A and B are shown apart, each in its own frame.
Chain A
């Protein structure tokens, strides 16, 4: 299974980015191979619709779960349609590797 975590940087020690559509990076973690790939979020300077575009970006990696600080109202119906589960993680001091451990993926 693949999960996406919004990240402020491109390493496992980077903190979670509380924003979904306008986060800096997506950490794409494969729970089977235990590997993590970091992808730049190219949607974060869009004037409108950064959220839906970000869903499109991560959906291409066939993720089943997205973990972020919050999800906006335009994003939720799209995630539902794509059958992607959203997890709201509020502790912004946590790093990507903390989160991977915390959810026991």
Chain B
């Protein structure tokens, strides 16, 4: 069963929920893998300590144009769906914009003059950590300056394989990185906060998930702050409210030290355990 932990707004507590849920399930002896899909700034490894099992680069092939062979016919430009080849016929100028390349290889395939070769471009890396005999952390880490984290987080999800429980800590927002993460999930946990900003981004996430036909529920973090807007919205839209986390200084203090609430205050394990059971009961059957 694959569960994505996501949010529209950043900083609502995705990693907090992911790492504590992972820790609780791991202690219960579940065979669980946490994938940190937030490749632009992965930080689950700050909370989950494990032994590095494997580290490998994520590579993409990008075209290199040999202008001594190029006849400026424009075929590669015409075939590129991503505007990654800049071509000005009149001035015989051709240039690859590597950031836009998706590595599909159409340009080199279509070139009749053998003018396009491919070079390897490193986009990021995948780090696999063994946490216990039955649990793993997989981290997607993007190279600074790379245009999109999508191919790196996809590779990380692939690395989790078919572990019985896969938790995916999603990147924030509702754009491609979010969509590519939740697309692989059987169930999505949306984490929000009861502020107007939290509500606005929650609405956007809900709309996307409805379009994608994904079952989901909502966790309200820092539940005592803000107003009633989020609660009224959940009620009106008939959305499952899975859990609330209070706005407490001691919880923030534990998190800010890179520690796990479920470890420091073990009574929380019960809450995270019942969160998982709730998801399993509601949606688990349809996921297998």
Contacts and interface: CB of A to CB of B under 8 A. Distances in A.
Interface stretch (A3-11, A32-40, A73-81, A88-96): A73-81
B88 interface: yes
B83 A82 contact: no
Contacts of B224: none
Given A55-B86, A56-B86, A78-B86, A49 B91 contact: no
Contact of A59 (B82, B83, B91, B100): B91
B90 A52 contact: no
B90 A48 contact: no
A50 B99 CA distance: 13
Interface string A50-91: 101101100110000000000001100110011000000000
18 contacts: A48-B83, A48-B100, A49-B82, A49-B83, A49-B100, A52-B83, A52-B86, A52-B97, A56-B88, A60-B88, A60-B90, A74-B100, A77-B95, A77-B97, A78-B86, A78-B95, A82-B88, A82-B91
A1 interface: no
B114 to A, nearest CB: 23
Contact of B93 (A50, A73, A77, A81): A81
A56 B99 contact: no
Contacts of B272: none
Interface string B82-112: 1110111011010101011000000000000
Interface of A: 46, 48-50, 52-53, 55-56, 59-60, 73-74, 77-78, 81-82
B36 to A, nearest CB: 26
B90 A82 contact: no
Given A48-B83, A53-B83, A81-B93, A59 B88 contact: yes
B95 A81 contact: yes
A34 B232 CA distance: 60
Contacts, number: 37
Interface in B56-103: 82-84, 86-88, 90-91, 93, 95, 97, 99-100
Contacts of A53: 83
Contact of A48 (B82, B86, B95): B82
Contacts of B83: 46, 48-50, 52-53
B97 A49 contact: yes
Contacts of B95: 77-78, 81
A50 B88 CA distance: 16
A55 B84 CA distance: 13
B93 A52 contact: no
Contact of B97 (A46, A60, A74, A82): A74
A27 B124 CA distance: 41
A20 B84 CA distance: 17
Residue among B86, B90, B91 facing the most chain A CB atoms (10 A cut-off)? B86
Q: What are the 10 tightest A-B residue pairs by CB atom distance, in nearest-first order?
A: A49-B83, A49-B100, A74-B97, A52-B86, A52-B97, A53-B83, A52-B83, A78-B86, A48-B82, A74-B99
Contacts of A59: 88, 91
B97 A56 contact: no
Contacts of B90: 60
A60 B90 CA distance: 8
B235 to A, nearest CB: 37
Interface string B208-233: 00000000000000000000000000
Contacts of A81: 93, 95
Given A49-B97, A81-B93, 12 more contacts: A46-B83, A48-B82, A49-B100, A52-B83, A52-B100, A55-B86, A60-B90, A74-B97, A74-B99, A78-B97, A82-B91, A82-B93
